[in-house]
Amino acid sequence: MSFPRYPEYKNSGVEWLGKVPAHWEIAAVKRLFHIIGGSTPASDVSRFWDGDVLWATPADLSGSGLELQSTLRTITEAGVASCGTTVAPVGSIILSTRAPIGSLAIAARPMCTNQGCKTLVPGSLASSRYFAYVLSVASPELNLRGRGSTFLELSGDELGRFAVVCPPVREQHIISRFLDHETAKIDALVAEQERLIALLKEKRQAVISHAVTKGLNPAASMKHSGSAWLGQVPANWGVARLRYVSPQLTVGIVVEPSKYYNDQGVPALRSLNIRPGKIMLNNLVYLSEESNELLGKSRLNAGDIVAVRTGQPGTAAVIPQELDGCNCIDLIIIRRPSVGSSEYLCRYLESDSAVAQFADGSGGAIQQHFNVSAAQDLVVPVPPPEEQLAISEFVQNQVEDIDKLIEEVQRGKELLLLRRGALITAAVTGQIDVRGLASAEAA
């Protein structure tokens, strides 16, 4: 759909805005809003916490939707008084000004914030909804104005000086109504794409889990595995602990790995390089040849399996021939099975049965951590070697097809999000004239 332009434009004098409609004004944020900083009551005083006053932090601004109805934490009136913070009225814009800069929401209830946020209370010339859209697309510009060595922070003065475009208030309402209508349609399409991706991932998981625990022959005789994790398995399969399937389980470099880093040399894999069934070669670190020899315990051979042990235990991949001799950092190393297929064992580690065992072995912690001793006790189904190869090939073909579909849907979702951002930018900077369109939609 093509949109009309305004009849006349002028140079805004602001680089990120460019030319704007001739009748629009340029104003600093402090001319349009009263800016309030946040604060935090003493954390060790219980009477300051868990009260009736909403207390927003940057973590509260990461959800979907433009309005903020609730916060993760609340404080009491005594907490408000103790730290000198201000409770802002409904309709204020809550803006994250510290790591990350630019996340925002409109307060649907009175609330205050911590020092990681600034509250923008609108004056008579500003519509909160319109300027929430403006600031959402101005996030890159706001980040350029952040300062700090540990993390970027946008000061109240810098935010107050930030130049934005200011149409007449009536026009602000028209533009925000148009964007509410159009972004809602795009958001609904994005939600459909996300549901489809979730369904495809469920199918992917089901294909892997069934193949590696039940086999490919639906008519095969079954027996009880003796393990609650596995249940029934084909009658000709064995069942063993991982310690008896792999000749050795160990762990990569754990103590001060960074002291061995080198600008070039032998690649060293980290958890961020491991995806289910894949090794990503971006963001590699390197060791010198001498360090790699010194750290022979964690050196990897083609056919070995590496598994993530912190965060997402069970995510695993097989070392390909081109990475033979590389090293690794804080990964579980499962040496190539004495008999059978590394690819089959790696796929089994992705299965529901293995993931459940990983989760149990991680102790239910929020940041799950899976150690070598728990990995050694993992219950593994052991088909005959030729059956392992057939299962691996089947799973690989099925997973490739599903992954292609997921990538295609993900690209569609990303295009929708790009269109959403472009539409907001065009509308709030006056590159398109939506006044007539918004009126038609309202009618």
Q: What is the pLDDT of residues 47-94, one digit of tens each?
A: 999 999 999 999 999 776 789 999 999 999 999 999 989 999 999 999
| Among candidate residues 86, 79, 71, the one with its CA nearest the CA of residue 42 | 79
- pLDDT value, residue 197: 97
DSSP element (H, E) containing 250: strand 249-251
pLDDT tier, 100 (very low <50, low <70, confident <90, very high otherwise):
confident
- pLDDT value, residue 313: 65
CB-neighbour burial class of residue 28 (10 A; exposed 0-12, middle 13-18, buried 19+): middle
Instruction: Give, as one character, the DSSP assignment of residue 47.
Output: G
pLDDT tier, 99 (very low <50, low <70, confident <90, very high otherwise):
confident
How far is CA 69 from each of CA 55, 97, 308, rounded to the nearest angstrom? 11, 20, 37
Structure tokens at 333: 């190393």
Mean pLDDT along residues 415-437 = 95
Backbone angles phi and psi of 127, in degrees to 5: -95, 120
Mean pLDDT along residues 319-325 = 96
User: Which pairs with CB-CB distance under 8 Å and at least 24 residues apart come from 217-226?
Assistant: 225/379, 225/381
Q: Is the pLDDT of residue 364 over 70?
A: no
Q: Is the pLDDT of residue 425 over 70?
A: yes
Mean pLDDT along residues 127-144 = 95
- pLDDT value, residue 292: 92
Structure tokens at 358: 């990983």
Pick the CATH number of 25-166 from 3.10.20.30, 3.40.50.2300, 3.90.220.20, 3.40.30.10: 3.90.220.20
- pLDDT value, residue 365: 45
* pLDDT single digits (tens) 183-240: 999 999 999 999 999 999 999 999 999 999 999 999 999 999 999 999 999 999 999 9
Structure tokens at 109: 């209830």
- pLDDT value, residue 145: 92
- pLDDT value, residue 338: 87
Mean pLDDT along residues 96-111 = 93
pLDDT tier, 443 (very low <50, low <70, confident <90, very high otherwise):
very low
Asked whether 346 and 317 are in contact (CB, 8 A), the reply is yes
- pLDDT value, residue 323: 96
Share of the chain above pLDDT 90, in %: 86
* pTM strictly above 0.85: no
Q: Is the pLDDT of residue 439 over 60?
A: no
CATH H superfamily, domain 238-382: DNA methylase specificity domains (3.90.220.20)
Residue limits of CATH 3.90.220.20 in the chain: 25-166, 238-382
Backbone angles phi and psi of 32, in degrees to 5: -105, -25
Mean pLDDT along residues 295-306 = 96
pLDDT tier, 148 (very low <50, low <70, confident <90, very high otherwise):
confident
Q: Is the pLDDT of residue 127 over 70?
A: yes
Share of the chain above pLDDT 70, in %: 95
- pLDDT value, residue 367: 45
Mean pLDDT, the chain, as a whole number? 93
Query: How far apart (Å, rounded) are the C-alpha atoms in residues 295 and 61?
Result: 44
Query: How far apart (Å, rounded) are the C-alpha atoms in residues 89 and 93?
Result: 10
| Among candidate residues 95, 86, 85, the one with its CA nearest the CA of residue 120 | 95
Asked whether 326 and 253 are in contact (CB, 8 A), the reply is no
Query: Which range (9-13, 115-119, 254-258) has the least confidence?
Result: 254-258
Backbone angles phi and psi of 222, in degrees to 5: -115, 160
| Residue labelled with tokens 């539409």 | 423
